[in-house]
Structures are given as C-alpha cells and as structure tokens.
Amino acid sequence: MLSADNVRHFADIIQQGGVIAYPTETVFGLGCDPKQPQAITRLLNLKNRPANKGLILLAATAEQLQPYSDLSLTQLKQILNTHTDHPTTWLVPKSSAATPLITGDFNTVAIRITQHPHIIQLCNKLNAAITSTSANLSQHPTAQSSQQIADTFNQQLDGIIPGKSGGQSASQIIDWKTNRVIRSIQT
C-alpha cells in the first residue's frame, strides 16, 4: 500500500494535469486526468500513440466510470462485476464526457475496474477514473519495471508510482453488447 502522503502526491500531479506511470494488475501503465485534454494530448505525444486508437479508463468503482458511459449505473455494475479469468476491459456506449481523445475513432469507451491496490488508492483519493495505456513507446515492448519506464521516458513523466505490475500481458477487451473478445490475453 502507498502511504497517505504518496497517494496525495500522485493525486495532486493528476489534478494539476500531469502524466504518471503506474503498476496495474496487468502491465505498467501511463495515465492522466481524462477531463484534461492537454494532459491526454501530452500523454499521447510522449508515447507517440495515434489519437484515433483511444485509451482505457481505469477506476476503483463503477461510480467513477459512470460519467463516461451512457449506460445506467446499474447496467455498468452488472457488466463490470462479470467475472472472467483475466483482467477485463469492457467496451461500452460512450457518453459526451468520453471525448475523442479518450475514445479515438470508436463509438464506445474502454473501461476497467482495477484490482491493483495502488491504483485503487489513487482513484479513491481522486474519486475519479484515470486514463490508461501501456507504458511504452508505440510499437515497442511494454516496460516491465519502474527503471525501464524512467529510462524510456527520460524524465518526461511527472511521477512514477512504485510497485510491481501483475506481470502478464495487457487486459483482454470484450464488447459488452456482443460479448465478442476484441483482444485476448497472450500467454
């Protein structure tokens, strides 16, 4: 667990428009405040990621994700509480709060409830979701440690949350409406 001071420090960075790296239950991620377009643009530029691909939103609760979806909170909870064998990102109908910088060229928004204790702490402190994309330059392997992230981004990030990721591949992605697996877990 992160100390209360550390949680507050990283929450302040996010609220001030910063971009951070952090461990998740899958891989290390890069994130920022999804309500701040300049922060998202900076994240995309750091990663060299095309904006049309979209980003995932991570949160500790369905309530923190609900503003970004047109589904009711009850529907969202049913989807997010669907148990799968792997960490799962769900594609759900987007709301107007899910801007094209978040959704890319899609009519859906990608959302996931995190299981990583550090990110649960951060999202609960913010009482909000954060953006998420793998911590790497586009078309390069995902960083496996805080040191690899620091080396890759050469002090361009505003912070790196210490800790370990789940060490597996990225989350699977499932379309909520069709139950079609868009991206499966690579083992």
CA pair distance 92, 109, nearest whole angstrom = 6
pLDDT of residue 57: 98
42-65 pLDDT, tens digit per residue, is 999 999 999 999 999 999 999 999
Q: What is the DSSP string of 97-112?
A: TS-HHHHTT-SEEEEE
Q: pTM for the whole thing? A: 0.95
pLDDT at residue 140 greater than cutoff 80: yes
Boundaries of every domain in the chain: 4-183
CA pair distance 80, 83, nearest whole angstrom = 8
The per-residue pLDDT of the chain, averaged, comes to: 94
Residue 86's pLDDT band (cuts 50, 70, 90)? confident
CATH class of 4-183: alpha beta
Identity of the highest mean pLDDT range in 107-111, 137-141, 171-175: 107-111
